[in-house]
Amino acid sequence: MDTKWLKIEKENMDSRLLKEAGNIIKAGGLVAFPTETVYGLGGDALNPESARKIYEAKGRPADNPLIVHIADFADLERIVSYIPETARILAECFWPGPMTMILNKADCVPYETTGGLSTIAVRYPADRIAQAFIKEAGGFVAAPSANTSGKPSPTNAGRVYEDLSGRIDMLLDGGDCEIGLESTIIDLTEDTPVILRPGGITMEMLMETLGCVDIDQTLLKDDLTTPPKAPGMKYRHYAPKGQLIIVEGGQEEVVSKINTLLSQAASEGKRTGVIGTTETVALYHADSIKNAGDRKDEEEIARNLYSILREFDDEGVEVIYSEAFEAKGLGQAVMNRLLKAAGHRVISAK
């Protein structure tokens, strides 16, 4: 299959092109498209055959359910059995945006889309290209991140092409993603809402809106005995090919510890990399030094993380040390992804 890579301007969207993309979905094909979080690999959410194709194109285990994307709140009631009041409140505050809600599914949604579950994950993205494309596609687009399963999610079209060229019909190139990390997932099927994956809508924002919110405890620690509630969170994820290790502690201690570890790795003949911040990058000695951004600017760090992890792969870096980030606000999502990418390898600088 030839993958058509087509650029699309947010300010001046080509309606013919969007219609062509929408028709591919309606005919059971696959189209990757930009959203404000990461690129999505889209197929018709109501067509079981499309869901099967998505799993195959990504190499994704079929028990890892897909998020269904809509472009109109009114469409929600068609794919869920019931809309609780909390869902209405959250939608009012955070949709369109980087928040996915888990609700009970309606009968029209095939089990292939939900990985065999009777619940469904739904998001209304804010990206205008995504919205226009979803409407042309019939309103219900199942889309996981548009990467090969296990790799860091793509935040630009080039990274999608690298992974999925020849496996999908079309790639809509809308430039770089604004947020760069996947959506927050919140489960509304239990009495208390539970965050299953931290993301752009932070725990603090959800607490302020709902008063009471839990977080799936398996996200915060390396607990291999309890499976996480979002099936996808149990898989190794977001990982670069090299070995990534996180170093925690005060800034000076961390820089000094990482430099010691880097020189050890270099003396063993390994190609080394480091993820630092604007405050520290000048202090490191490694083959590849990446600046995740200013420590005070969590949004910048979130936006940069996945492209940095992929650049290490391009450069053949074998051992990577990263500074830790404070797990508050958007930092909670950054640390969650970094911990998964590192397979929870964390050491103290002391």
- Judge whether 320 and 343 are in contact, CB under 8 Å: no
Cα–Cα distances in Å, from 157 out to 18, 32, 129, 147, 258?
Answer: 16, 9, 13, 11, 33
**Least distance (Å) between residue 41 CB and ligand AMP:** 8
The residue within the footprint of ligand AMP, chosen from 18, 24, 45, 121 (CB under 6 A), is 121
The residue within the footprint of ligand AMP, chosen from 230, 244, 320, 334 (CB under 6 A), is 230
Tell me phi and psi for residue 5, to 5 degrees: -105, 110
**C-beta closer to ligand AMP: residue 290 or 340:** 340
The residue within the footprint of ligand AMP, chosen from 57, 179, 185, 201 (CB under 6 A), is 185
Question: Given strand 288-291, what is the order of strands in its sheet?
Answer: 288-291, 272-276, 319-323, 243-248, 346-348
DSSP structure class, residue 27: T
CB closest to ligand AMP, residue no: 232
Nearest to 84 by CA among 188, 158, 237: 188
Q: Which does 196 bind (CB under 5 to 8 A by kind): Mg ion, ligand AMP, none?
A: ligand AMP
**Least distance (Å) between residue 216 CB and ligand AMP:** 10
Q: Does 186 bind ligand AMP (CB under 6 A)?
A: no
- Mark 197-216 with x for binding to ligand AMP (rule: CB under 6 A) and - for no binding: x-------------------
Quote the CA–CA distance of 324 and 134 in Å, as a whole number.
37
Quote the CA–CA distance of 25 and 98 in Å, as a whole number.
23
- Judge whether 124 and 90 are in contact, CB under 8 Å: no
Q: Does 196 bind ligand AMP (CB under 6 A)?
A: yes
Show the tokens assigned to 36: 């404000």
Q: Does 183 bind Mg ion (CB under 5 A)?
A: no
CA dihedral 37→43→45→51, nearest 10 degrees, is -110
User: What is the Cβ-side half-sphere exposure of residue 266, based on CA atoms within 13 angstroms?
Assistant: 15
The residue within the footprint of ligand AMP, chosen from 47, 114, 155, 322 (CB under 6 A), is 114
The residue within the footprint of Mg ion, chosen from 3, 113, 145, 332 (CB under 5 A), is 145
Q: Does 110 bind ligand AMP (CB under 6 A)?
A: no
Q: Does 37 bind Mg ion (CB under 5 A)?
A: no
Q: Does 113 bind Mg ion (CB under 5 A)?
A: no
The one segment of 47-55, 156-164, 230-238, 256-264 that binds ligand AMP by CB under 6 A: 230-238
* Interface with Mg ion (CB under 5 A): 145
Residues of this chain that interact with ligand AMP (CB under 6 A) are: 64-65, 67, 102, 114, 117, 119-121, 144-145, 182, 185, 196-197, 229-233
